[in-house]
Structure 1
Amino acid sequence: MKKLFITLFSLVAFATSSYAQSEYKPVDFTLQLKNMHLWRGYTVTNTPMTAVDLHYNSKNEHFSAGVWGGAGFTGDYKEFDYYLSYQNKGFNIALWDIYNFSTGATYNNSEFFNYKAGETGHFIDLTVGYKFQGSFPLSMSWSTILYGRDRGSQNQQNLYSTFVQLGYPVMKSDIVNIDVFAAGAFALNPEDGSKANFYGSKSNLVSLGFTASKTLKIGNFSLPVSVMPMWNPELNQGNIQFAVNLF
């Protein structure tokens, strides 16, 4: 796993080394405010939170590397992730090291540098996606957890839980944009006698919903905002997320 990270990081460095450091801004960060945090059918936290993304972008805008952090207003939710990504036209690939060390977690949330397979609180997630160009902008993504906190009930094997999503923009207007999505989850390496995976007790639809987004104009300022209702048939849950991109 360390070799994979080193290889991807070397590709980023090699692809951008020939560019002169001229006027482009290689490093930037963003701040987002949410009433809660929904992710792949999960309610990660149901309290207001902030999300910070500090990242490096290559001059050709194909490669990115960064850190993402989330923190709840109550102090219970805490998350710190690393990521590497490549995007070109409709194709994208991203590798994330995700570490949610929230209070009350049922897994190891107190050893940040512990990456032992049966002990770590991290999980490594690889996503490959494609968005068709032109008049049929369907997006597809396949995400598989490669390592870490995705183990069977006996903690003897990785399940390689997989999340597959389809998305499509159904409305583009000056008032609001609406994108719908649907996703299912399953394990590539299930335990004998079980269909459990990271997202549920069996293979099933785990995320259905849509995102409505627009830009609010407040004086000279523009604030991108979004509302995302999401339902999880596997967990028999539903919730709605509101988000504001402050900068």
Structure 2
Amino acid sequence: MNEKSQARKDRLIKGLIIILFLGGIICLVIPFAKRALLSYRIESVSVQQTLSVPTNEVSQGSVIIQPPTLSETLALYRHQPEASLGRLVIPDVAIDVPIFPTLINENLLLGAVTMFPERDPNQENLVLVSHHLWNETLLFGPLMNVQPGQAMFLSYGDQVYQYRVTEIKTVPATEISVMDNRQLGELTLITCDRPTLTDQRLVVNGTLVKEEPDEIKEKMHNAQEQGVKTISDNRLIIRHFGWLLVCVFIIMLVLTWIVIKL
């Protein structure tokens, strides 16, 4: 009877060890898996562009801008992207993202969102917001490296625009005056100052540069061509990261089997 009790106790202890071991491994793997899935979705998603820009204010959703959860990342794979209004390209820091009209978290994870899509870029302050993720080559993460004087290109509807970075600053998240419309041709980019929960925002402001549309289109096209290699390199890194996760999972199974046999 004592031997049976001891055997039952040994099995219970072994089971608890296995559960704790697997739980620890899962806790370690989940953040990396989330990052790999999110990076791949951002880099591989196909977005259609519309040439029509809203002339009336768009009803925006209520979104708290913060690092995405695993459930939000998985939901992104089921989300069908809405048509974009254009693209933002900043060649010096390898930014090339679509611009969406509606403030929902899925759009913030796939590109940038224009807070006031009805504003005229020629004579008003166009405000774009996006995420700053752990992988600072994605979305608005590269804004951390932007410098005054650098060029920013914007396709918006059927028009193209060029801006020059004039101001870079960090403000409290409650400082909404940076989005005010000063009746000037401006571009304002807003993101978190770091890829974790924060109450500060990085704000990059640019002023409109008057040039011929054909010249701007050529410059923007050349900038996007330069960015193709960056995107390819990112995808290669993500692919290698995916294989690393597979190896970790196999090692986890082997170690579990060893624990069971102890």
If the length of structure 2 is used for normalisation, what is the TM-score?
Answer: 0.23
If the length of structure 1 is used for normalisation, what is the TM-score?
Answer: 0.24
Greater share of helix residues, 1 or 2? 2
Greater relative contact order structure (CA < 8 Å, 6+ sep): 2
Greater share of strand residues, 1 or 2? 1
Q: State the structure with more CA Rg.
A: 2
